[in-house]
Amino acid sequence: MYPYLDLGHNILFPLYNLFIGIGIIFGLIYLDRQCNSLKIKFLTDRNLHVSLIISVILSFLGAKIFELIYQGNTITLIDLYSGGTTFMGGVITAGIVFFLINSLLKTNNLFAFNLVVPSLMIAHIFGRIGCFLGGCCYGNPTNIFCGVKYPETAPASVHLGSSIYSHPTQLYESFFLIVCFIVIEKYSLFENKIFIYLIGYGTFRFFIEFIRADERGQILTDLISPSQITSILFVLFGIFSILIRFYFSKKSAATNNF
């Protein structure tokens, strides 16, 4: 849409990167405020930041590797440089790395995940706006009022045609994440934040994939996209985790009554 800001002297400022950066900054500021309001100990806070920043950096590598697997490409250095990224791959990699580092540093994993989920959502909201400006992750052609026409050089115009209006799926996702953020922060119990996010985002992503028009890749089946398979896993993991926690809390309550 508007991928570069021309600063003159042949300096083009990539807006996609800028918005990812803004998202990470606001995410970290929000995390800081949460740590202060919950009066988290300094060492836990520091360990949390260390594990989070390592996870974020490795998540970009994971996002690239997952995209290469989704597209059925080989994983070489050149492919890693030239290939795209997928959020689902990034979030899975970050989750695994975050879990491992927290385990090593003896930080309560469930607490840590629940603490960082709102920050992840903030970063994701801005990241999707960056996608919109970069012209990637576009939707199917549409005639509805919110359809957008991309510039002639944008990937959407190259793929769909320059006079075609398409769904701004990036903005739908941003809007959904804002609503999800408000719901999680206002109405959810602290210990369920991560699971509600997984169920909510997984469900949304499953359906939004049907109106995505960019190359979705293929894995296991061609009926649904790889991101939809991951979304189903997210939802199942979230539901099972909440059920297990509910079962154990009832059991311990019943034991305490005797």
Partner 1 sequence: MAKERGTSNIPMIMGIIGGVLGLPAAVCSAWCGEAIVAVDNIDSGAVSDGSTGGTILLLGILGAILGIVGGALGKKIPTPAGSMMIAAAILTGWNLASALAYIPLNLFLLGGVFCFVQKKESIEI
By CB neighbour count within 10 A (0-12 exposed, 13-18 middle, 19+ buried), where does 126 fall?
A: buried
User: What residue ranges in 110-239 does DSSP mark as E strands?
Assistant: 148-149, 165-166
Q: Cα separation of 197 and 181, whole Å?
A: 8
Q: Quick one: 120 or 229, whose CB is closer to partner 1?
A: 120
Phi then psi for residue 149, to 5 deg, are -110, 120
Q: How far is the CB of 110 from partner 1 (least distance, A)?
A: 22
Q: Cα separation of 209 and 153, whole Å?
A: 24
Q: How far is the CB of 170 from partner 1 (least distance, A)?
A: 18
Which of 138, 126, 163 is CA-nearest to residue 27? 126
Q: Quick one: 29 or 244, whose CB is closer to partner 1?
A: 29
Q: How far is the CB of 19 from partner 1 (least distance, A)?
A: 9
Q: Cα separation of 160 and 167, whole Å?
A: 12
Please report, as a single letter, which amino acid is at residue 74. T
- Determine contact, residues 129/102, Cβ cutoff 8 Å: no
Q: How far is the CB of 49 from partner 1 (least distance, A)?
A: 5
Q: Quick one: 90 or 217, whose CB is closer to partner 1?
A: 90
Q: Quick one: 41 or 186, whose CB is closer to partner 1?
A: 41
Interacting residues with partner 1 (CB under 8 A):
9-14, 17-18, 20-22, 24-25, 28-29, 32, 41-43, 45-46, 49-50, 52-54, 56-57, 81
Q: How far is the CB of 122 from partner 1 (least distance, A)?
A: 13
Q: Quick one: 82 or 252, whose CB is closer to partner 1?
A: 82
